């Protein structure tokens, strides 16, 4: 890991829940805002961080064009989503040009982007807030091995790291054992709520996002069993992926669904 990336992670550790606006992450004075955002994207790509963002420009993607050409009232699109796709069918546009109310634009646009129905260049996705993932915590707890002779971290950053490690040790029941965090049905339900809020999936969260968030805390079978229990307790509803929407997801994402013997795999989680 590059030193500047480590500084980014350690700077984040001082905030509650290891979550903060990107503008609050202070790095070397020589690092520009653009460079800081690039560092953040690199850490997100490695699974150490998750970020929320604001889209400033976008255009329709091939799957979005395909859906617009279908003459059917059963397409997996809301009226707002259809309006956004039509507005962006000919050229790159801004959220204002969609004609949607200001308070609704980002949720609708980001939902379409998450489903691959619109195309957004990295320069048009402004990161707003960033937080440490479970994978990021594990890296700092168990995998990071500093080397070299130069002391490049400030005492403030070192203190952030020490406080983080001490808190981690308090959560381990036995000092010599790397305890596996307990993830119960309630925790999975809470994670589903958080992901729905972050990804704005219109209460149809693809299971692949839940698997990614909870890996490696839960095996595939454990998560499947928990989701079935939550459905039986009327907390959620599981549903399959309609054929018309399959083009909006990758084969890997579809494979992350819950297999059924004679029916398509369950793919979406809906909160009740």
DSSP structure string for 97-154: GG---HHHHHHHHHHHHHTTSEE--GGGEEEEEEEE-HHHHHIIIII----SS---S-
Local confidence band at 154 (pLDDT 50, 70, 90 cut-offs): confident
Q: What is the pLDDT of residue 182?
A: 63
Work out the widest C-alpha separation in the chain, in whole angstroms: 66
Q: Are strands 49-55 and 125-132 parallel, antiparallel or unpaired?
A: antiparallel
For residues 84 and 221, what is the distance between their CA atoms, to the nearest angstrom? 38
**pTM, rounded to two decimals:** 0.53
Question: Do 44 and 51 contact (CB within 8 A), yes or no?
Answer: yes
Please give the DSSP secondary-structure letter assigned to residue 182: P
Q: What is the pLDDT of residue 87?
A: 92
Residue 95: CB atoms within 10 Å:
20
pLDDT digits (tens, 9 = 90+) for 112-153: 887 889 999 888 888 888 888 888 888 888 888 877 666 677
CA distances from 214 to 106, 182, 254 (A): 26, 11, 17
Please give the DSSP secondary-structure letter assigned to residue 60: E
Question: Do 44 and 52 contact (CB within 8 A), yes or no?
Answer: no
**Which has more confidence, 107 or 180?**
107
Q: What is the pLDDT of residue 176?
A: 42
Question: Measuring CA to CA, which residue among 271, 272, 249, 216 is closest to residue 63?
Answer: 249
For 229-245, letters b (16+ CB in 10 Å) and e give ebbeeebbebeebeeeb
Residue 117: CB atoms within 10 Å:
28
- pLDDT score of 9 more than 90: yes
Name all domains of the chain by residue range, CATH numbers in brackets: 3-53+128-170 (1.10.10), 59-120 (no CATH), 185-271 (no CATH)
Q: What is the pLDDT of residue 150?
A: 61
When pLDDT is averaged across residues 208-234 and rounded to a whole number, the result is 88
pLDDT digits (tens, 9 = 90+) for 56-105: 999 999 988 888 887 666 667 788 888 999 999 889 999 999 998 888 88
Instruction: Give the SS3 label for residue 240.
Output: strand
């Amino acid at each position: 890991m590059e030193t500047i990336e480590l500084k980014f992670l350690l700077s984040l550790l001082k905030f509650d829940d290891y979550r903060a606006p990107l503008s609050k992450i202070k790095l070397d004075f020589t690092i520009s805002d653009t460079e800081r955002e690039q560092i953040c994207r690199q850490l997100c790509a490695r699974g150490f961080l998750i970020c929320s963002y604001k889209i400033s420009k976008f255009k329709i993607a091939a799957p979005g064009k395909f859906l617009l050409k279908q003459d059917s009232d059963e397409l997996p699109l809301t009226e707002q989503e259809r309006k956004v796709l039509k507005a962006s069918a000919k050229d790159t546009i801004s959220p204002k040009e969609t004609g949607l109310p200001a308070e609704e634009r980002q949720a609708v646009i980001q939902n379409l982007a998450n489903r691959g129905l619109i195309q957004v260049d990295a320069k048009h996705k402004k990161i707003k807030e960033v937080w440490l993932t479970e994978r990021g915590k594990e890296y700092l707890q168990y995998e990071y091995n500093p080397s070299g002779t130069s002391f490049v971290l400030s005492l403030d950053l070192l203190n952030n790291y020490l406080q983080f490690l001490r808190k981690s040790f308090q959560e381990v029941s036995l000092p010599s054992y790397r305890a596996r965090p307990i993830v119960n049905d309630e925790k999975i339900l809470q994670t589903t709520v958080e992901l729905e809020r972050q990804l704005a999936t219109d209460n149809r969260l693809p299971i692949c996002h839940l698997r990614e968030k909870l890996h490696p805390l839960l095996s595939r079978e454990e998560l499947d069993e928990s989701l079935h229990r939550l459905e039986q307790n009327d907390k959620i509803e599981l549903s399959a992926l309609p054929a018309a929407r399959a083009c909006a997801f990758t084969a890997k994402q579809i494979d992350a669904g819950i297999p059924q013997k004679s029916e398509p795999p369950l793919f979406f989680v809906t909160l009740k």
